[in-house]
Structure 1
Amino acid sequence: MKKLFLAASLAALMTLPAQAADYVIDTQGAHAFVQFKISHLGYSWLYGRFNTFSGDFSYDAAKLAESKIQLTIDTSSVDSNHAERDKHLRSADFLNVGKHPKATFVSTKVVERDNNNFDLYGNLTLNGVTKEVVIAAEKTGEGKDPWGGYRAGFSGTTTLTLKDFAISMDLGPASATVQMELSVEGIRK
């Protein structure tokens, strides 16, 4: 009788819908990235990333619209694989890290498009300016990891206009925007 009750209880638990879960972004294992590319005068692409950031998110596949994310970026960790350029990127011409050492993104809503694709709306604070941005995002996958944890991963892209964030350096029309690419893998808390 006990075995039958236990089996019935387990079966009932397995049919319950997924619950919202909180995740911490896995920056320790380097399974998350905040990268960018910008045209250099219209002649080539300059690529870079931010090496130091942290964040967390809440996700429920059954209630995607209730999902949330927050991300904090150390702007002084900008890395374009060129020390002199990175020094310039940290200056008042670009990121102004002396006055604004952190950039933040806090989501405000999620709008599902199709399958695993959605638009993530939120407020980005960069260089002391806060603007709403929309990240075209997709769920990469979720499931158990080999160490007994549970993970969920997402990626997304958005384009920022530099002048919208009080970035004064003008390198011409081809360099007026920067394309951001985010890839996050979270470990369920």
Structure 2
Amino acid sequence: MKKIFAAALISTASFATALPAMAADYAIDTRGAHASINFKVNHLGYSWLLGRFDTFSGEFSYDKSNPSAAKVAVEIDTKSVNSNHAERDKHIRGNDFLAVDKYPKASFVSDKFESTDGETGKLYGKLTLRGVTKDIVIDVTKVGEGQDPWGGYRAGFEGSTSFLMKDFGIDKDLGPQAASVHMDLHIEGIKQ
């Protein structure tokens, strides 16, 4: 995936004190399974069908002194959908829903982040699913950041959003309660 973040490096402490703080780039930690993209859809008004995508990658840029400059890019392998039921997953991968043979990837690329306190905010961007690109808004909360036990630096966020399936060309009618997909995102990044 093409990297969309420009890295800013400052080589000496004297420059660091003279220049404004620059955003740091983070790779989403999928190797350590410290990130997840989960979804739920109402089932007939009686319960929730829960699932996740097992394979995805991405990166983000974040500076706590300038959170409005944050950027995010994520790519999802739609074939990796997992609802803990093999036959249902086969149906979800099919043409009624994700059509993974034709659209093997989904993606999200942010446009802007609005925050009043630096800890919570709204992340605006474009979600591409089934070849359709639409604007969505993700409600974001910072979980924390700091040194890890292995000498690295990490930052973590959680977010939630929802969208109508029909907006992305999914016309399967499962009743009005099932018209929306609700997504929960848990992202931990390792500073690069």
Contact 1:36–1:180 (8 Å) recurs in 2: yes
Taking the aligned partners of 1:70 and 1:13, their CA distance within structure 2 comes to: 27
Report the number of matched residues: 181
Three-state SS of the structure 2 residue aligned to 1:114 is coil
Contact 1:118–1:137 (8 Å) recurs in 2: yes
Q: Name whichever structure is richer in helix by fraction.
A: 1
Partner of 2:185: 182
Contact 1:17–1:62 (8 Å) recurs in 2: no
1:128 corresponds, among 127, 131, 137, to 131
Partner of 2:70: 67
Three-state SS of the structure 1 residue aligned to 2:79 is helix
Cα displacement (A) at 1:17: 6.5
Contact 2:64–2:118 (8 Å) recurs in 1: no
Could you give the per-residue CA deviations for residues 122-173 of structure 1, whole angstroms, max 9, x where no partner exists? 0000011000000000110000000000000000000010000001211000
Could you give the per-residue CA deviations for residues 50-102 of structure 1, whole angstroms, max 9, x where no partner exists? 00000000101111111100000000000000000000000010001011000
Partner of 2:144: 141
Taking the aligned partners of 1:113 and 1:170, their CA distance within structure 2 comes to: 39
Report sequence identity in percent: 59
Amino acid at match of 2:119: N
| TM-score normalized by the length of structure 1 | 0.91
1:168 aligns with 2:164: no
Three-state SS of the structure 2 residue aligned to 1:168 is coil
Three-state SS of the structure 2 residue aligned to 1:99 is coil
Contact 2:67–2:118 (8 Å) recurs in 1: no
Partner of 1:111: 114
1:155 aligns with 2:154: no
| TM-score normalized by the length of structure 2 | 0.89
Taking the aligned partners of 1:160 and 1:108, their CA distance within structure 2 comes to: 18
2:52 corresponds, among 37, 49, 53, to 49
Could you give the per-residue CA deviations for residues 14-47 of structure 1, whole angstroms, max 9, x where no partner exists? 9x87531000000000000000011011111110
Taking the aligned partners of 2:46 and 2:116, their CA distance within structure 1 comes to: 35
1:92 aligns with 2:95: yes
Taking the aligned partners of 1:75 and 1:44, their CA distance within structure 2 comes to: 24
2:29 corresponds, among 26, 30, 37, to 26
Three-state SS of the structure 1 residue aligned to 2:88 is helix
Note the residue ranges of structure 2 that are not aligned, 5 or more in a row.
1-11
Amino acid at match of 1:104: S
Note the residue ranges of structure 1 that are not aligned, 5 or more in a row.
1-8
Aligned structure 1 segments of 4 or more residues deviating by more than 4 angstroms: none
Amino acid at match of 2:147: K
